[in-house]
Structure 1
Amino acid sequence: MVTVTVWNEFRHERDSEEVAAVYPDGIHTVVADALREDGHDVDTATLDEPEHGLPASVLDETDVLVWWGHKAHDEVDDAVVDRVTARVRDGMGLLVLHSGHYSKPFKRLMGTSCSLKWREAGERERVWTVEPGHPIAEGLPESFEVPNAEMYGERFDIPAPDELVFLSWFEGGEVFRSGCCYTRGKGRIFYFRPGHETYPIYEQPEIRTVLQNAADWAAPSDGADPYFGNADPLEDLD
């Protein structure tokens, strides 16, 4: 069982009747339900809780942190960002969803602006599985469609992914690297583009399968801890 914390600003849902109609209890609850369906131990945290719901005691017990943010990236305290990125480098997995590309933790871990093109026109998105043998793609078809989506387009200012699992095409003609895998220190990071506050994308079965597979993939492994620093020789030296 993977221990997951789903983090959400939880602002749009309280500020907008349109968003509340789609996610009345918050995007985090829908994402959390998808992960519980897969047997994971899931808690949630939100921006306006003390320490944004992410004190050291929570992060230390979290195998995978899921991050959804959009309108309040700048309100995330740098001390919490320090804590999150340190835990990722120490082995905690991080799933960054949709507009979380512009979150402080993701930008710091990528070391780039993470900027992109965007357009909100409710257009169709076709998600192509370009790495079908990857664990995150298990159980998914060669492609699937999201009926209404906010467009994200290249260039996406990120480092080249270690592995690209999904590529999206939009009705307006743009393409986007929409499923990107990275390793930072001992931690695995997966960025997944689909998802928007005014569309019920996280209810879609294919999207929920991606979330479930990604949590399994990003969970810490039992590999050996690396040693850094001055080292005695393993063999006799002349």
Structure 2
Amino acid sequence: NNSKIAANDTDKIWKIVSQLKNGRVDIVLDNSGFELLQDVLLAHWLVAVGVASKVVFHPKRIPWYVSDVTNDDFHWLVNVIRDPSLVNATGLSASDEAALKSLGTKWTALLADGTWELKDELFWTGPYGYRYLPTEGKDAWEELIKSDVVIFKGDLNYRKLVYDLEWPVSTPFVDALGPVASDPRAPAIVALRTSKCDTIVGIEPTRAEELFALRKDWTYSGQYGVIQLSPGRWTGKF
């Protein structure tokens, strides 16, 4: 439902992704469960169509919230897809079960050969906003700048990207990111977020007026989201 997307850079993101051939995409994960399954399916597609030859997932060592993805959560998902009997799955047709097992076997192989990789840098569980990645999270930042596109999932990651400040809502997303956008080595940064607090940027003034007229709590109602891009070193290339 596009009416629920307050800012939508999908077309710009696609212009970058469609240029990639055997590139690298990183995903800074948010929630486990069904959301993680969607993230893994996206990674599967990126590799299958040749957009990426490397996908790096960034889980947390310790969950900020109970639902945050850890290494164990990720491997549990892959193992269950490979062997649905681990959770006593019932009601699956033989063809569905075979399809799941095939997917799980493929994902296990992608992890084994390094096409997919997990990197749970300590920075993601630390107190710093993400503008401090180049200084306080050098190990994580040195990984991210190897990537073509980095996808940040969820509300918490968004808030840490924009330093959780009370920005004017029309502040450009790139400006709010600070050093992780201005570093000449910066990858394209994509934020996918359902808004659950009043910190938000990159909203056109007329769109903001329209949304505030609809409901004053739209920024933290959990009913609206954003798909936003900082092009990084892709600036001027799409």
User: Highest relative contact order (Cα 8 Å, sep 6+), 1 or 2?
Assistant: 2
More helix by share: 2
Q: If the length of structure 2 is used for normalisation, what is the TM-score?
A: 0.32
TM-score scaled to structure 1, two decimals? 0.32
